[in-house]
Structure 1
Amino acid sequence: MGTSNGSPETAIDPVPSAGRRRTRGYVSLREYAVLGDGRTAALVARDGSMDWLCLPDLDSPAVFGAVLDAARGGRFTLEPSVPYRVERRYLPGTNVLETTFRTSTGTVRITDALTLHDDATLTPARELLRRVEGLSGCVPLRWSVTPRFGYGTHRTRITRRAGVPVATAGRDALAICAWEAGEPVCDSNAVSGHFTLAEGRRALLAMPFAHQEPLVLPARSECEARLDATCAAWRRWADDRPYTGRWRQAVMRSLLALKLLVYAPSGAVAAAVTTSLPEEIGGERNWDYRFSWVRDSAFTLAAFLRLGCPAEAHAYFWWLMHASQLTHPRMNVLYRLDGGHRTPEKTLSWEGYRHSEPVRTGNAAVAQVQLDTYGELMQTAWQYAGAAGRLDADVARRLAELADLVCTVWQEPDAGIWEVRSPPRHFTQSKMMCWVALDRAADLAQRGLIPDRHLPRWNAARDDIAEFIENRCFSADRDSYVRSPGSDDLDAAVLLGHLYGYGGDDHRMRATISALDRDLRHGPYVDRYSGEDGLAGGEGAFLACSFWLAESLARTGSLAQAVELMDELVGLSNDVGLYSEEIDPVTGDFLGNLPQGLSHLALISAACAITAASKDTAR
């Protein structure tokens, strides 16, 4: 785990391994690090096995999917063939992973990267590089590439081109180039090899990939140069970030993780790089998160603006405007990374992580009504306008039309931010976000940034929403805003109303924060809500809620309590500073998809808010 000051230490495996220490083929989700190149991403376990990679894009079918089916999913293994200890880290300021294996005969270091490219030269469309360096002694190693195209549904052919093993299926092809890594051996399912690396020697494995285009077989010198250039490019990007506050390393790692979720061709930001990692082992809460949720938009834009990423903020905002235009004036809950709005949900025949079925692709939540999305979009546009000082005329018109729609739809029941698959109801947080939508629209209109012809109507509807919330959504018995009218259930999502400036009764909001802290928090963990949600089984603690609580505590003057909670939360990351969606409060195991964008966004927001509050207090 990371240390409390936000500086994850290089983690050392205390137990020698005679191979992969797996339970029925699976490792703890905590053991995964992520690689990425702005188009796709991969999960690499501590034992050197790459168990997840979708090609050619992050939301494409998996070629390596062993994290969801250890037997049939496919993977790329690379490890010593003798017992070893492991330590690993990201190279500072990069998304390049360095793993050191220590054995009784010597030590080797593996550097893994999905390379970044210079478009001026002919390079592979996608390229994975795995450099192995001998640090001391002699270490025997083994590797194996077992591709399973199309989630394992496509027949794979393995042949050789110019002596290089190449796996193909339909219009997809990947090569396995090996230099000083043993002679590749091909069979019908895999390409493998073994070699011994001595001190001072260096081996390299490269896996270029092509989709509907020629497969480029690179030279070793080109691969080595691209790996070095990738490290340098990541460092330049990270060095330009201005954040110097408390928990800097945790904030910067979160920003680097967020950058891996950016789909560079469009500017969209995915919720996570994986699908169907379970919220409960053996449970059915397994969802595809390789899409972009409007729910995350305000946090996303705020993070980019706060941390000096104007290009990413601009690209993301315009992707959001393009995607939402396709469904205007109604909002989808989520959109595809290319801006599309259809995400049909299907079930694969895989067994699921540690036998957690079903394994899904696509997400049926796209068809839900979630009224909070209107507030998120308007908050995002309001933030963007504040930074840019203007809005495009067409965007301004659409935002005004969106506000008109909110005046009507706020009275409808919905599925809420948590996407419950039970009958819609009137969720308090949804109403709060409708209030935010109209409040931000009114402010934009008063500043002349969007048409103001319906301003009186927006103000009147905003007041009606506040009256609904204050009269029907606050429980005197719980001394808290509750999940929905007539309910005694609590909901951590109402913290978003506070963070986005819902203008209700200040005493009530402070009492709600206290109630959530008292009744939904267990140590550093905060449950999403109390009560039923229409799904079988349970789940872990939703990490974003804990960060929202820390930020709310800081904003209401409980700074010492906020700092204490934040220190605990920063310590919950895995050894390389990443977070999943949830954590099991009993075991500390990661649950849900990873790395989870909202967890990292909430960390950034809380750290910035607590740092700002600390400065205000010190004045």
Structure 2
Amino acid sequence: MTPPPAGMDGAYGFSPFPPIAEYAFLSDCETTALIAADGQVEWMCLPRMDSPSVFGAMLDRDAGTFRLGPAEIRRPAQRRYIPGTMVLETSWWTGRGWVVVLDALLAGPWHHRGLRSSAHTRAPTDTEAEHVLLRTVRCVSGSVQIRLDCTPVFDYGRAPAVWEYVGDDYHEAVARAPGAGLELRLTTDLMLGFEGDSLALGRTLLKEGEGRFAALSWSGHPPPRTYEAAQQRMLWTVHHWQRWLDGGRFPDHRWSDFLQRSVITLKGLTYAPTGAIAAAATTSLPETPGGERNWDYRYTWIRDATMTLWAMYALGYDWEANEFLYFIADTVTAGHRLQIMYGIDGRADLPEETLGHLHGYDGARPVRIGNGAHAQAQHDVWGAVVSSIYLHVGLRHRLDERQWTIVRTEVDCALRHWRAPDCGLWEVRGAPQHFVSSKVYCWLAAERGARLASLREEHDLAATWRAAAAEIQADILEHGVDERGVFVQRYGASTLDASALLIPILGFLPADDPRVKATVLAIADELTEDDLVLRYRTDETDDALDGEEGTFTICSFWLVSALIIIGEVERGRRLCEKLLSLASSLQLYGEEIDQSTGRHLGNFPQAFTHLALINAVMQVIRAERGLPPLTLDGEQQF
């Protein structure tokens, strides 16, 4: 496909692509959607978040969009989420009147806790989402011309839809494409027309007090058929999210709204039928503008498990944390080698494919689906699983036989492989190296495993694993620290790496160890751009890719936590305040931030960034209240 001429879209200046941070995120915990500021749905995959897209304009302006709003495309006056929800409210002033659009993926009954399925079986019907994207528009003053345009293109822009009417009243139509295996139904109180085969459109003049709706559905769940019914379904979804949020516990603090938005975002990235949490809702949003660092993040990373459980337990969402742990346990015991990532349904095979027909976001190519890193050797996975089970058990003081079997298996893997090189936490595509962070996670597997063995009264095994943990720790301290007493990226190098910030967070060494403080301060002073943290300097690391990166927001929030842990409270608080000021207008984050412009880069919204935010904000709040910092060792009560 070819991009439109630059500058043709007045809403975004000289680029036809909206800034990544301007997208709003919707979810029903099965499907996700991203909506640009002009009201266009530009990313939506069906029937679930890792399926092929039906609206893909985020990656190619010809790959499908869906808009409902003022006929004159302009920037909205205001956008916000209705507080405590994932229902988007957009207000427009046209010069003749005001209209308000509400957008939501209708929530299903996933708040009825206690219902779950295996990662390898279909969820029960009563946990399914409604499978309806609902959009309502209401004129609140004056009069405004309203326009609906819906142009789905199935299979990542490869299969244009063909519309046909349902019935004879011109208010309902279905879109199909040969081989797509999916049917979209558009139901509205606007009179629908077709332009060619692929565009369904509607126009009307709304006067003060009048409203219209459009519902896009893709399963047997009935959509609303009147504006009044649509309002009721929207209100139910608002209440649904707010009731779910009320189940958590949040400190009374000026930053609590960031905690709430982050946990809502994490819930939205959860695939309810299995409990898996996707790393992001998108694929191939570039880490480097116009570059090749474009990856598919619609999968679950095992390395995120410990942070996920910590964040969910800290905010009172034990059920969600347990669901994610059960997903991991189901996956680990499914009979295949533990990988660094899995599909949200638990599948292990994630073959990487390049979609050469797509232009890419703002010209960034290639566009990839699947992720070849799933086959990498990455030694952090064993520690992530064992420490997650340890956190889970720490709240219950009970380790069942199934979990114990997993612990024994993963500790054994860590002890057999910790001396070997791997691809590291950042999944570099260069030659395997002896990455310090990977060996720290192998230490984590042995150390937390020893604690769990003691709980099981397996005292001989606990002693063996403690000795192994001590051996790994001694090796890291001998080979992974430079002459300044600073932890480096890999053995035999002097390169700094932000993953060393996990050393105090995971409790590898006490906070008052001089090597810990020296490392945190070295990263803060030498691996930052305008206070924001780089993963590593690309000219010092063989990651087999071209181009520079922006600063990694995950790592910047890690630095906040690490600064608090080593006692640099004021510096950590100031950095946290700066990072929160760089959030999108809807309090969402991509993976990276361009330090010179504040532009968000990478897939969006990024789960790991929001997990790190929760940890950092909670650390700052505790410090302000004179409480000791928390590390991810499960010793403290949440």
Measured against the shorter chain, the TM-score band is over 0.9
2:268 is aligned with 1:260 = yes
The separation in 1 between residues aligned to 2:216 and 2:584, in whole angstroms, is 27
Q: CA deviation at 1:286?
A: 0.4
Deviations 1:211-255 (A, max 9, x none): xxx574542244332211000000111122211154101111111
2:133 maps to a residue whose letter is L
When structure 1 is superposed on structure 2, of 603-612 and 266-275 the one drifting more is 603-612
Query: What residue in structure 2 maps to residue 168 of structure 1?
Result: 176
Q: 2:604 aligns with which of 583, 588, 594?
A: 594
Higher RCO (CA 8 Å, separation ≥ 6 residues): 1
Q: CA deviation at 1:77?
A: 1.8
Conserved 8 A contact 1:158-1:186:
no
Query: What residue in structure 2 maps to residue 512 of structure 1?
Result: 519
Conserved 8 A contact 1:19-1:81:
no
Q: 1:82 aligns with which of 59, 65, 72?
A: 72
Conserved 8 A contact 1:85-1:103:
no
Q: CA deviation at 1:518?
A: 0.5
The separation in 1 between residues aligned to 2:573 and 2:455, in whole angstroms, is 36
1:592 maps to a residue whose letter is G
Conserved 8 A contact 1:555-1:613:
no
2:408 is aligned with 1:418 = no
Secondary structure of the equivalent of 1:150?
Answer: helix
Q: CA deviation at 1:197?
A: 1.3
Query: What residue in structure 2 maps to residue 491 of structure 1?
Result: 497
Q: CA deviation at 1:534?
A: 1.8
Deviations 1:407-430 (A, max 9, x none): 111001000000000010000111
Query: What residue in structure 1 maps to residue 507 of structure 2?
Result: 501
Query: What residue in structure 1 maps to residue 217 of structure 2?
Result: 208
Secondary structure of the equivalent of 1:475?
Answer: coil
Q: Structure 1 residues 46, 564: closer, same or farther in 2, change over 3 A? A: same
Conserved 8 A contact 2:128-2:273:
no
2:586 is aligned with 1:576 = yes
2:495 maps to a residue whose letter is D
Structure 2: unaligned runs, 5 residues or longer: 1-7, 111-124, 630-638
Q: CA deviation at 1:103?
A: 1.5
Conserved 8 A contact 1:85-1:102:
no
1:489 maps to a residue whose letter is T
2:198 is aligned with 1:192 = no
The separation in 2 between residues aligned to 1:587 and 1:20, in whole angstroms, is 19
1:98 maps to a residue whose letter is E
1:496 maps to a residue whose letter is L
Q: CA deviation at 1:182?
A: 4.4
Query: What residue in structure 2 maps to residue 549 of structure 1?
Result: 559
Q: 1:381 aligns with which of 370, 386, 389?
A: 389
Q: 2:318 aligns with which of 310, 313, 333?
A: 310
Conserved 8 A contact 1:165-1:184:
no
Deviations 1:42-100 (A, max 9, x none): 000111011000000011100000000112x1010223223645211000000000000
The separation in 2 between residues aligned to 1:471 and 1:176, in whole angstroms, is 64
Query: What residue in structure 2 maps to residue 159 of structure 1?
Result: 164
**Structure 2-normalised TM-score?**
0.90
Query: What residue in structure 2 maps to residue 13 of structure 1?
Result: none
Query: What residue in structure 2 maps to residue 6 of structure 1?
Result: none
Conserved 8 A contact 2:386-2:448:
yes
When structure 1 is superposed on structure 2, of 542-551 and 191-200 the one drifting more is 191-200
Conserved 8 A contact 1:282-1:355:
yes
Query: What residue in structure 2 maps to residue 46 of structure 1?
Result: 37
The separation in 1 between residues aligned to 2:567 and 2:127, in whole angstroms, is 56
2:621 is aligned with 1:611 = yes
The separation in 1 between residues aligned to 2:521 and 2:278, in whole angstroms, is 33
Deviations 1:96-126 (A, max 9, x none): 0000011110110000000013599999951
Query: What residue in structure 1 maps to residue 417 of structure 2?
Result: 409
Q: 1:138 aligns with which of 135, 138, 143?
A: 143
Q: CA deviation at 1:176?
A: 1.5
Conserved 8 A contact 2:385-2:410:
no
2:285 is aligned with 1:277 = yes
Deviations 1:298-325 (A, max 9, x none): 1111111111112111111100111122
Conserved 8 A contact 1:124-1:218:
no
2:222 is aligned with 1:237 = no
Secondary structure of the equivalent of 1:377?
Answer: helix
The separation in 1 between residues aligned to 2:54 and 2:272, in whole angstroms, is 21
Conserved 8 A contact 2:224-2:233:
no
**Structure 1-normalised TM-score?**
0.92
Secondary structure of the equivalent of 2:573?
Answer: helix
The separation in 1 between residues aligned to 2:276 and 2:91, in whole angstroms, is 34
1:100 maps to a residue whose letter is S
1:359 maps to a residue whose letter is V
Q: 1:454 aligns with which of 441, 461, 467?
A: 461
Q: Give the number of aligned pairs.
A: 595
Deviations 1:358-380 (A, max 9, x none): 11110000001111111111111
2:554 maps to a residue whose letter is A
The separation in 2 between residues aligned to 1:241 and 1:516, in whole angstroms, is 34
The separation in 1 between residues aligned to 2:602 and 2:284, in whole angstroms, is 7
Secondary structure of the equivalent of 2:413?
Answer: helix
1:499 maps to a residue whose letter is I
The separation in 2 between residues aligned to 1:281 and 1:506, in whole angstroms, is 40
Structure 1: unaligned runs, 5 residues or longer: 1-16
Q: CA deviation at 1:488?
A: 1.0
